[in-house]
């Protein structure tokens, strides 16, 4: 049996097996190997309707959209219209955060690498029209707190990609969705795409699933999109098929050339996008760094971007040196677990990629706990770090628009509590209720008393109080 048939058989067997094991209603996968695309689908797009998933089914890709936005920006760089290290204000004079001085220093590269230093999770609604991004930048980003000087600290910033999307709109003189289609989707031959629920009705489209109460069975969410259409450049509502994502990945693996030979991106820009420009904090796990849009795994050779929202999980992963790419789209709470289980053996077989090592369990001993105690808060969540019986604990709670989206989706908001165990210096792992390390975080900076200024889990949450507020 040849390699193509082996992959086809593995997908046909493993995708439904892992979907059933994790209770994921539906999933779609596409794999590019040896120049061919193998597709597989399982389950249903909606438990209520029972409509089956097929390879042409659309799923939300969420933050994978950011790599598309970065590609649109790099096309402007190729055309000499934009320079990476020029301040954004040179192109968007209206751009500002709440810090006037920092606003004039933030460059295009800062936004592409999530190092602009300002609040990134701005999920409030503006409009649902063609002026959504314009209003997002003018009305919401302009009030974003500036947490750190530009370039000083990595903190995942969806708001920055909203600004980049607006940059594309201004130079292309058209709405973001139209530029997306004209400069990327259409040249790649991609038609299975929707930017809104209205457009999604034209396709076999998946809806996310969640639990209305902790003990309830998963159900279709109350709405197709819990996020507003305010920031399409960051991926608030974009949906497409897995094979459409593979068409995009094929172009990047070909250093900017579409399957029909059309050049959409220069070789230099395509390669620069997947080179490491910044390191991630708490790089004990994966990803460990960032290119221009792409995330770089702690495992050598992997380039990727994930996407997730309530009841939705997606991943696009490439192994450029092997010409391999995999796209997996899911519509259930445990979609991320399905993706991990499916990908490790698949990429080991196709590209000799070692499985992701488990996170360390950490050491229950620590230095001075007072450095870490306190409340760390962003616009959408609160993290309380406390000391109990000689151990550090982190309690996470949703806030503001995060709570609104949970209510809109029809699921429950639950506090999450983890034990914090030190791994190396200020890097800790979060131990969940089952005793397993789920992810790593890093405490960053110090005030005059030596207390950490930020809790960074990929997103930097600034300290707002030295002691936890009751």
Task: Give catalytic residue positions.
Answer: 63
DSSP letter at 258 equals -
Which residue from 116, 104, 110, 108 is spatially nearest to 75, judged by alpha carbons? 108
Report CA-CA distances (Å) from 193 to 52, 106, 251, 302: 18, 32, 17, 26
SS3 290: strand
Q: What are phi and psi of 393, to 5 degrees?
A: -130, 145
- CB-CB contact of 243 with 37 (8 Å): yes
Which residue from 156, 234, 211, 206 is spatially nearest to 45, judged by alpha carbons? 206
CA separation for the pair 261, 67 (Å, rounded): 21
- CB-CB contact of 142 with 245 (8 Å): no
* Cα–chain center distance at 337: 16
Strand 454-456 relative to strand 437-444, pairing: antiparallel
Helix axes 65-78, 242-253, angle to 10 degrees: 40
Residue ranges of alpha helices (H) inside 23-120 are 65-78, 100-103, 108-112
């Amino acid at each position: 049996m040849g390699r193509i048939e082996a992959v086809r058989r593995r997908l046909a067997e493993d995708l439904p097996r892992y979907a059933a094991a994790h209770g994921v209603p539906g999933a779609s996968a596409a794999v590019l190997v040896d120049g061919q695309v193998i597709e597989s689908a399982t389950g249903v797009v909606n438990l209520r309707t029972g409509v089956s998933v097929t390879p042409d089914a659309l799923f939300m890709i969420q933050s994978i959209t950011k790599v598309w936005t970065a590609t649109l920006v790099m096309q402007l760089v190729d055309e000499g219209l934009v320079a990476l290290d020029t301040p954004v204000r040179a192109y968007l004079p209206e751009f500002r955060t709440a810090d006037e001085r920092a606003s004039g220093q933030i460059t295009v590269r800062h936004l592409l690498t999530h190092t602009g230093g300002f609040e990134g999770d701005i999920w409030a609604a503006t409009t649902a029209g063609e002026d959504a991004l314009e209003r997002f930048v003018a009305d919401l980003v302009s009030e974003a707190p500036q947490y750190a000087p530009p370039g000083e600290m990595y903190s995942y910033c969806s708001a920055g990609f909203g600004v980049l999307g607006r940059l594309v709109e201004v130079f292309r003189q058209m709405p973001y969705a139209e530029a997306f289609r004209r400069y990327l989707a259409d040249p790649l031959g991609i038609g299975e795409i929707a930017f809104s629920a209205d457009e999604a009705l034209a396709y076999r489209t998946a809806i996310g699933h969640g639990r209305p109460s902790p003990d309830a069975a998963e159900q279709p969410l109350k709405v197709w999109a819990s996020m507003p259409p305010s920031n399409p450049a960051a991926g608030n509502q974009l949906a497409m098929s897995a094979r459409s994502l593979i068409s995009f990945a094929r172009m990047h693996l070909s250093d900017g050339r579409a399957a029909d030979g059309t050049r959409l991106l220069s070789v230099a820009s395509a390669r620069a996008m997947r080179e490491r420009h910044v390191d991630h904090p708490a790089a004990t796990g994966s990803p460990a760094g960032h290119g221009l849009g792409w995330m770089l795994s702690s495992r050598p050779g992997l380039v990727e971007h994930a996407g997730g929202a309530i009841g939705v999980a997606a991943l696009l992963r490439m192994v450029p040196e092997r010409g391999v790419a995999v796209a997996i789209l899911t519509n259930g709470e445990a979609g991320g677990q399905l993706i991990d289980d499916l990908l490790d053996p698949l990429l080991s077989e196709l590209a000799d990629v070692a499985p992701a090592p488990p996170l360390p369990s950490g050491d229950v001993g620590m230095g001075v706990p007072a450095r870490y105690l306190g409340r760390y808060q962003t616009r959408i969540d609160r993290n309380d770090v406390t000391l109990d019986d000689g151990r550090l604990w982190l309690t996470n709670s949703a806030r503001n628009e995060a709570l609104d989206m949970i209510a809109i989706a029809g699921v429950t908001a639950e506090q999450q509590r983890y034990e914090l165990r030190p791994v190396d210096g200020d890097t800790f792992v979060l131990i969940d209720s089952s005793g397993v390390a789920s992810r790593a975080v890093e405490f960053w900076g110090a005030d005059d008393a030596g207390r950490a200024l930020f809790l960074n889990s990929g997103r930097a949450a600034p300290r707002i109080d030295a002691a936890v507020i009751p």
